[in-house]
């Protein structure tokens, strides 16, 4: 576990950390890719970094196992879960179902304030030069679009699903697609939302996520050709 991770965990944890705070810090580190798939998560080391006993750490790891972020292996204990490309593609199918439903509910409830804040975020996204930031801006925009749906459980499911997907797609897709096309589609989504064009917006959102699936498949084919060479 790197120094940056240790510092983040210490700042989130501290003495008397609860299972929830340990879980949330670890989930964030896994979702961002800072804790790589296959990395062993030693309970004694985590307990020391959080300044707590092993009991909250063990409970947090069990919760993360239930969410799919952690796998318990014989003779190794807890490790960060890995996924095949097919599993990531399946999660993107789930993302389409959840987010299209959220957008359909959100558009009729959007206010001018919601729309203006989303446009300001896209403007900041335009100015971001670092591909490492693009994934963060992209997801903040999508969350802004869905927030007015006023369905906390649906939004929590969207967040959890994206947490799994993003650690395998964020850097790869941002570099492969750039930001010109995604941003063009983001602005169009915003205009459809402003005009109350629900079905057009939902159709565009679906195509937007399908493009991520195509990019991943393409990257997989290129990687396989590279190993054959």
Answer for the pair 41, 80: CB distance below 8 angstroms, yes or no: yes
pTM for the structure as a whole: 0.75
pLDDT of residue 15: 45
Q: Please report the pLDDT score of residue 108 as a whole number.
A: 98
pLDDT tens-digit readout, 106-124: 999 999 999 999 999 999 9
Distance separating alpha carbons of residues 52 and 120, to the nearest angstrom? 41
Identify whether the C-beta of residue 189 lies closer than 8 Å to the C-beta of residue 145.
Answer: yes
* DSSP designation for 68: T
Determine the Cα–Cα distance for residues 224 and 219; give it in Å rounded to an integer. Answer: 9
> Is residue 16 predicted with pLDDT exceeding 80?
no
Closest to 15 measured CA to CA, from 52, 46, 45? 52
Model confidence at 223: pLDDT above 90: no
Strand, helix or coil for residue 71: strand
């Amino acid at each position: 576990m790197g120094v940056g991770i240790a510092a983040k965990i210490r700042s989130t944890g501290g003495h008397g950390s609860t299972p929830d705070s340990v879980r949330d810090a670890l989930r964030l580190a896994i979702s961002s890719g800072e804790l790589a798939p296959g990395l062993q998560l030693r309970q004694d080391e985590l307990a020391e970094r959080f300044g707590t006993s092993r009991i909250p750490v063990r409970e947090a790891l069990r919760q993360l196992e239930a969410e799919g972020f952690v796998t318990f292996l014989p003779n190794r204990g807890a490790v960060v879960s890995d996924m095949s490309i097919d599993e990531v593609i399946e999660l993107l199918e789930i993302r389409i179902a959840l987010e299209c439903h959220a957008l359909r509910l959100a558009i009729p409830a959007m206010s001018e304030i919601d729309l203006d804040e989303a446009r300001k975020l896209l403007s900041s996204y335009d100015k971001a030069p670092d591909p490492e930031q693009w994934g963060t801006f992209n997801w903040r925009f999508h969350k802004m679009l869905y927030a007015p749906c006023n369905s906390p459980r649906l939004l929590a499911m969207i967040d959890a699903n994206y947490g799994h997907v993003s650690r395998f797609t964020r850097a790869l897709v941002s570099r492969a697609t750039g930001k010109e096309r995604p941003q063009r589609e983001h602005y169009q989504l915003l205009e459809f939302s402003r005009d109350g064009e629900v079905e057009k917006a939902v159709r565009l959102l679906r195509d937007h996520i399908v493009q991520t699936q195509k990019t991943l498949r393409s990257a997989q084919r290129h990687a396989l050709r590279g190993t054959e060479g």
